[in-house]
Amino acid sequence: VQLQASGGGSVQAGGSLRLSCAASGSIGGINTAAWHRQAPGNQRELVATITNRDNTDYADSVKGRFTISRENAKNMVYLQMNDLKPEDTAVYYCNADGQTTNWDRTQRKFQTFDSWGQGTLVTVSS
For residue range 26-66, what is the model confidence (pLDDT) as tens digits? 999 999 999 999 999 999 999 999 999 999 999 999 999 99
Mean pLDDT of the chain: 97
DSSP symbol at 84: -
Q: How high is the pLDDT of residue 70?
A: 97
Distance CA 78, CA 66 (A): 10
List b or e across 3-36, with b for residues whose CB sees 16 or more CB atoms inside 10 angstroms. bebebbeebeeeeebebbbebeeebeebebbbbb
